[in-house]
A and B are shown apart, each in its own frame.
Chain A
Amino acid sequence: MERRDTRDYAVWSIAIALVLLFALIPVVWLLSISLKPPSEVTDGRFIPASFSLDNYKSLFEGGFSNSPFIKPLINSILIALITTVIAITLASFTAYAIARLEFPGKRLILAGALAIAMFPPISTVGPLFDMWRALGLYDTYPGLIIPYLTFSLPLAIYVLVAFFREIPWDLEEAAQVDGATPFQAFRKVILPLAAPGVFTAAILVFIFAWNDFVFSISLTSSDASRTVPAALAFFTGESSFTEPTGSIAAAAIVVTIPIIVFVLFFQRRIVAGLTAGAVKG
């Protein structure tokens, strides 16, 4: 038995190592490029011959007004956060109603949400471009937040419906008998218990908004609202003859950091078994 356990352990370790390697090599490569001095970026070495932070410095050079990176970074953070907050607020109300109430058109709403989530974003870009120009939303925060909501809300609703359904209805009735209004019952009993679901949905929405390139490149024209993924495409080299490879790599590393922080921060709250002990069984 023990030998088999050891062998299983070894096999699993190798498998996990392979997956990690596969996932991390591009990241490590980016890190490696970003740490090379600009002159060695194209030397083809995986491990840099010498280390330099020049690429990172170049990102922030010129301060707020001249740096090609700072304003997009702020845009990215604000747009992703605002999208997340709005999406989670709306989705939690919607999901709660879908999980708890019987109303006509419930299936239609769920099916519609799913259909929208499956819609290829690129096909909406053209019409949106024209509409936003006409409405004055082109190159503004709402101009990006609205399409992000369109595609992230269905996802958030689906995740939250699944979590809300897990919460025993009795708890809500108990709260009502205890004197809570329906909204109080929702806010003080249901929502805290659905917290893992809320955080899961929040992470998914945030990552979706943070990673988007298609909308950002098409619906913005300046640093007023351009987010980092799109801004990277506008990076220029030292002169018009040098590729900005190093600074793009450095920027890519920098924009990964908020995601990691965000996930680590919320992951601690996704505690399994939070509802254990509510009701018997």
Chain B
Amino acid sequence: MSEIVLDGVTKVFDDGYEAVKDMNLDIGDGEFMILVGPSGCGKSTALRMIAGLEDISSGELKIDDEVVNDRSPKDRDIAMVFQNYALYPHMTVRENMGFALKLAKVDKEEIDRKVSDAAATLDLTKHLDRRPANLSGGQRQRVAMGRAIVRDPKVFLMDEPLSNLDAKLRVQMRTEVARLQSDLKTTMVYVTHDQTEAMTLGDRVAVMRAGVLQQVGSPGDLYSRPRNLFVAGFIGSPAMNFMIGQIDGGKLKLPIGEVDAAGVAGAEHDGRVIVGIRPQNFEDATIVGEAKEERGIIFEADIDLLESLGSDLYAYFHVETEGIQSDQLADLVASRLEETGAAGLREGQEQVVARLEPTSEVRRGQKAQLWADTAKLHLFDAESGERLGE
């Protein structure tokens, strides 16, 4: 049994910066909880407070119903994997993994046995007598995990453990982490800025922004019912598209056409809304079946750019819409602009990404008939950015 409860946990640094604001989170026994958010959102600080490496300014942190605010890291029975591994360079892999047990005065045979077991699980047996300097990035990463698992702690904390690996290794280690957690059934808190990692690994995902917890839920939950603009824009890849819509007399007017508001969740009241639509909810109108065609709209778009990934085809086009003013989206938009290089858009235009079937015949620089699934629209309050409707 090892349950973690954060009750109004707040972190204010000496310079007055509030890194984590009134965080409430229950992490169940054996649960794999992901803290995700852009850099500087306070996720690492939250993790470090759980570890005891950072003081808690106010609020309570409980592990197994015991308040541990004032306990030092060594008395919390937690293991942590650091972003840069933090292996002890003067010790061999074996000594690195056994260090915690040695400090705990476990007898030598027991240490040897546990280290060998963990090494076997992580495929490190051959490397036990080498030093970290002589290991590859992936091996170091595994040693860091091995150091955590030999202890059989109450809780595993992982601070972006995969961010230093190259893309291929990262995917491989991701499955490794998932396997480990399901084998060990130990409570795990995992911090990442990568929403793909968050979606694929976690039982539940907690999205943070600017020190505030935005939404906690299963990956599916976050994807299909994001609570606000930030979560909507952060979860999902490519990210959700946003445009301004106007509800007027039972009609929802969008830059790409007009929809019957009755069929859209949250469109009860007249007024301006921000409308989100995922790239997956577009299709080439010439391909989409008739059955689907009925619950959507067909519109014409100038295709600016096409990206073919083989299995998917991403079409970039733009719509005429007034600028979306929301600080929730500000940082997301900035980072997305970097990724997609959507420079060259004039004021009053928003870039939209559509995922199409690879068989589609749309061409770059030409007009194309696209279909949008209006049953899957997400509506957000234009002022607060909160989700409208269920």
Contacts and interface: CB of A to CB of B under 8 A. Distances in A.
A176 B147 contact: no
Contacts of A275: 89
Given A174-B86, A278-B86, A180 B140 contact: no
A175 B52 CA distance: 12
B90 interface: yes
B343 interface: no
A278 B132 contact: yes
B258 to A, nearest CB: 54
B351 interface: no
Interface string A16-41: 00000000000000000000000000
Contact of A277 (B14, B72, B131, B151): B131
A180 B88 contact: no
A104 to B, nearest CB: 12
A189 B88 contact: yes
Interface residues of B, number: 32
Interface core residue of A177, A181, A184, A277 (most chain B CB under 10 Å): A177
A265 to B, nearest CB: 20
A276 B74 contact: no
A7 to B, nearest CB: 37
Interface in B56-115: 72-74, 78-80, 82, 84-90, 99-100, 103-104
B135 A174 contact: no
A149 to B, nearest CB: 29
A178 interface: yes
A238 interface: no
B90 A274 contact: yes
Contacts of A170: 82, 84, 86
Interface string A258-280: 00000000000000011111111
A275 to B, nearest CB: 5
B53 A184 contact: no
Contact of A173 (B79, B82, B147, B151): B82
B175 interface: no
Residue of B51, B53, B74, B85 most packed against chain A (CB within 10 A):
B74
A192 interface: yes
B287 interface: no
Contacts of B335: none
A280 B88 contact: no
Given A176-B74, A177-B53, A277-B131, A171 B103 contact: no
A178 to B, nearest CB: 4
B73 A280 contact: no
Contacts of B137: 280
A65 B344 CA distance: 94
A205 B135 CA distance: 37
A184 B89 CA distance: 16
A178 B103 contact: yes
Interface string A161-186: 00000001011011111111100100
Given A176-B72, A273-B133, 19 more contacts: A173-B51, A173-B80, A173-B86, A174-B86, A174-B88, A176-B73, A176-B74, A178-B74, A178-B151, A179-B74, A179-B100, A180-B74, A188-B99, A192-B90, A277-B133, A277-B134, A278-B86, A278-B87, A280-B137
Interface of B: 14, 51-53, 72-74, 78-80, 82, 84-90, 99-100, 103-104, 131-135, 137, 140, 147, 151, 164
Interface of A: 102, 168, 170-171, 173-181, 184, 188-189, 192-193, 273-281
List the 3 closest A-B pairs by CB distance, nearest first. Answer: A277-B133, A279-B84, A178-B100
